[in-house]
A and B are shown apart, each in its own frame.
Chain A
Amino acid sequence: MTSSASLSDSQRLNRVRQTLSQVRHFTDLPPKVMTAIACAATFCRFDADEVIYLEGEPAKSLYILEKGWVKATRMSPEGREQALWFLESGEAFGDVALLTDTPSPGTVVALEPVEAWAIEKSDFLCLIDRHPQLAMAVIRRLGERVLYFIGLVEDLSLRSVEARVAKTLLKHAGVAGDRLVVPRRTWTTFDEMATRLGTVRDVLSRALKTLEDEKLLHVERHQIVILDPAGLAARGES
């Protein structure tokens, strides 16, 4: 991790406020609260593949992502790695362990070069104590996280790998020309996709082959083309 001391105070405050304004539930915070958060934030930069924090490591900071993707994983007691979430700019993470005063529950790694703002634990807790609007924003974010994990538990326990693949692909699909495609980022390897879906590479390959044989999608080198969105959606619910 590298920090930057080259930014002037006003540049720093503006950048933090701009980043905060993209974080859900932080958007409507009063300017004085935004400024208080900005004053407590420290700029940090992580290289691609760099570990931001480790599971079981004491939690030190809340992070607000300005740029780049990160992923959180957790190793099961049996040794299988499960993706918890993938986050991009305008998201915050690290808050759960700070609020519960426990070690970090997952490992967070930068997937690309990442720029973020870190707020140390004591400052974060102090800010929450002083600003009820911030406390409410944090509660809303945690509530959303709970709903997300309920969905993840449902997916992992009730849906087949094919159904999870179908659902995830549709969620990330976008229109390119006259086709519905899921672009593959440089870090979207089969291993990453398998980790995200709670399975292993071989099983994922077979699931994609099955969906391809059913003419629901076509796997290309840099993207996955969805041939039959309605059919894939139906598979996602199976």
Chain B
Amino acid sequence: MDSSEIRRGTMTELAHFIPDENLRAAILAKFAAESRIASTNVRVGVLNGIAHLAGEVDSLAKRSMAEDLAREIPGVRGIVNRIEAPGAPNPSRTVNLDLSPNPKDDSP
């Protein structure tokens, strides 16, 4: 195990301790920085590291993009996507829980 693996492992564990309100702020900041999502009214709540998304967008692509952006935040353990969009499941809810410690971690 080299030092980079040790560092990644530590970061993964640390991500568990990121408070929900900080995760929520990070997701909202990520949305604000993405022009296709920033103009929408997507709402975000985070509890136990699981991000809950709601609101309405005009395409399935934007719905998926919001979910992908939220998942990129270290410490987010899973997504419950309730965003309404044309063609989205009705009732609009996709539970996509990847309860790994850190979905972005690419360590083997």
Contacts and interface: CB of A to CB of B under 8 A. Distances in A.
Interface of A: 49-51, 53-57, 74-79, 81, 103-105, 107, 109
B37 interface: no
Secondary structure dominating the interface of A: loop
Interface of B: 20-21, 24, 43-55, 78, 80, 82, 84, 90-92, 95, 97, 99
B97 A54 contact: no
A79 B50 contact: yes
Contacts of B80: 75, 107
Nearest to A53: B45
Given A75-B47, A75-B48, 7 more contacts: A54-B53, A54-B54, A55-B47, A56-B47, A81-B95, A105-B47, A107-B52
B50 A103 contact: no
Contacts, number: 63
A63 to B, nearest CB: 16
A55 B92 contact: no
5 contacts: A53-B45, A77-B48, A77-B49, A103-B20, A109-B91
Nearest to B96: A79
A161 to B, nearest CB: 21
B67 to A, nearest CB: 14
Contacts of A53: 45
A50 B90 CA distance: 11
